[in-house]
Amino acid sequence: MEARGIGKGFTGMGWEENVRKVVPYTPGEQPDKEGTIKLNTNECPYPPAPGVGRKAAQLAADKMRLYPAFPEETELAQELARFYQIGRDELFIGVGSDDVLSLAFMTFFRSDRPLFFPDITYSFYDVWADLYKIPYETKALDADFVIRKEDYMQPNGGIVFPNPNAPTGILMDVGQVEEIVAANRDVVVIVDEAYIDFGGTSCLPLIHKYDNLLVVQTFSKSRAMAGMRIGYAMGDSRLIKYLNDVKYSVNSYTLNYAALQLGAESVKDEAYFKESCAKIIRTRDNAEKRLAQLGFGFTKSYGNFIFASHSSVPAREIFEKLKQNDIYVRWWGKKRIDNYLRITVGTDEQMEALYGALERICGHQSNAPLQSND
């Protein structure tokens, strides 16, 4: 590096002093080997609604020369507002829920008091807090990995948690969510409902009662459109206005023409959406039985994944051996959860391949004592 600096004109790289240095979030691996079974990033195993494919074939290249429409003025916004029975001024659309959450962190968490979120949760929260210099405090889940609502009743600068929580899949009922929101009227509470469509009940109706609640959802899981990057937030129109002001101070145009066109088609097809979620729930229910027979314990998941721990074989070992079999699941190696795997619910066929591999890796453990956390 020294040598290189000298090669470029004797700079000491003085500019490096004033660089924002951060440790980025590490997403799950994206192997592109044919035949890989990808159960590591909670993608949907089924394709998007058929209308999405039909519309894709009709995208007009000539439209691409123009800047895209503002999301709030598109058919996508219209369809989402209709689907959720909310006003278009109660809806914000971004480039995946990560974009929405990142902007919301930047917009709403400006207090000197700490932001609260669980110790075991979506691992992007502390990355955004660090990036935007937001003070924060994590609140430990209880021994069963459940969020203790009392922890969120102390003075704070904001609250964020996923419901169901990730990577545990544990659902908080709407009554408890309301208690937290009601007890924190002077800060913004973000409920990250990325996984709400797999059996949970959304707290969305509460946005009409509490102006400090922002509900965030995504097209990446239940709508099978992770590749198109669409996420959205719903809340009081003033929350949405502040979010839009910051968004339009970062980048006027974020969702491209294709995302806007195809997203709308997905929302139109309610029957396909419901059937797709129902299939995943059925496969998840079956997976619980099969994994239990293989010696796994797990939390009760309301996500499109199962958070599981084996009674005798270490998670890391299973993770590595599955990878050798071209089956990818997620393992973090973090405190408290280093003996757990997060396994995305795939197709029934993919899951059978997984069970077969697990049987080889873990041996016949059907009589082993179960280690369950719920």
**4 binds a copy of itself, rule: CB under 8 A:** yes
Span of 25-33, 139-147, 299-307, 354-362 interacting with a copy of itself by CB under 8 A:
25-33
d(C-alpha 177, C-alpha 92), whole Å: 21
Which of positions 199-228 make contact with a copy of itself (CB under 8 A)? 208-212, 220, 224-228
2, 24, 34, 143: which one contacts a copy of itself (CB under 8 A)? 24
C-beta of 262 vs 318, nearer to a copy of itself:
262
Task: Kindly write out the interface string for residues 257-276 of this chain, putting x where it contacts a copy of itself by CB under 8 A and - elsewhere.
Answer: xxx--x--------------
Taking the complex as a whole, the smallest distance from the CB of residue 219 to a copy of itself amounts, in Å, to 9
Residues whose CB falls within 8 Å of the CB of residue 269, separated by 6 or more in sequence, listed in order: 49, 50, 51
**11 binds a copy of itself, rule: CB under 8 A:** yes
Which of positions 101-160 make contact with a copy of itself (CB under 8 A)? 102, 106-111, 127-128, 130-131, 157-158
Name which of 134, 239, 143 is nearest 191 in CA terms.
239
Return the HEC string of 107-166: HHCCCCCCEEEECCCCCCHHHHHHHCCCCEEEECCCCCCCCCHHHHHCCCCEEEEECCCC
Span of 11-19, 140-148, 162-170, 356-364 interacting with a copy of itself by CB under 8 A:
11-19
C-beta of 64 vs 153, nearer to a copy of itself:
64
C-beta of 50 vs 333, nearer to a copy of itself:
50
Residues whose CB falls within 8 Å of the CB of residue 17, separated by 6 or more in sequence, listed in order: none
Which of positions 42-101 make contact with a copy of itself (CB under 8 A)? 43-48, 50, 52-53, 56-57, 59-70, 95-96, 98-99
Taking the complex as a whole, the smallest distance from the CB of residue 209 to a copy of itself amounts, in Å, to 6
d(C-alpha 153, C-alpha 173), whole Å: 17
19, 33, 271, 289: which one contacts a copy of itself (CB under 8 A)? 19
Q: Please report, for residues 39, 266, 316, 332, the alpha-carbon distance to residue 29 in angstroms, rounded to integers and kept in the order given.
A: 10, 26, 15, 12
Query: 115-118 and 158-162 as β-strands: parallel, antiparallel, unpaired?
Result: parallel
CA 347 to chain centre: 20
**278 binds a copy of itself, rule: CB under 8 A:** no
Residues whose CB falls within 8 Å of the CB of residue 305, separated by 6 or more in sequence, listed in order: 42, 167, 169, 195, 342, 343, 344, 345
DSSP E strands in 219-369: the ranges are 231-235, 296-298, 305-310, 327-328, 341-344
Q: Please report, for residues 223, 305, 339, the alpha-carbon distance to residue 335 in angstroms, rounded to integers and kept in the order given.
A: 32, 20, 9
Q: How many residues bind a copy of itself (CB under 8 A)?
A: 102
**364 binds a copy of itself, rule: CB under 8 A:** no
C-beta of 12 vs 363, nearer to a copy of itself:
12
Taking the complex as a whole, the smallest distance from the CB of residue 218 to a copy of itself amounts, in Å, to 11
Span of 75-83, 141-149, 244-252, 283-291 interacting with a copy of itself by CB under 8 A:
244-252
Query: Are 24 and 102 spatial neighbours (Cβ–Cβ below 8 Å)?
Result: no
Taking the complex as a whole, the smallest distance from the CB of residue 163 to a copy of itself amounts, in Å, to 19
**312 binds a copy of itself, rule: CB under 8 A:** no
Name which of 128, 152, 185, 24 is nearest 138 in CA terms.
152
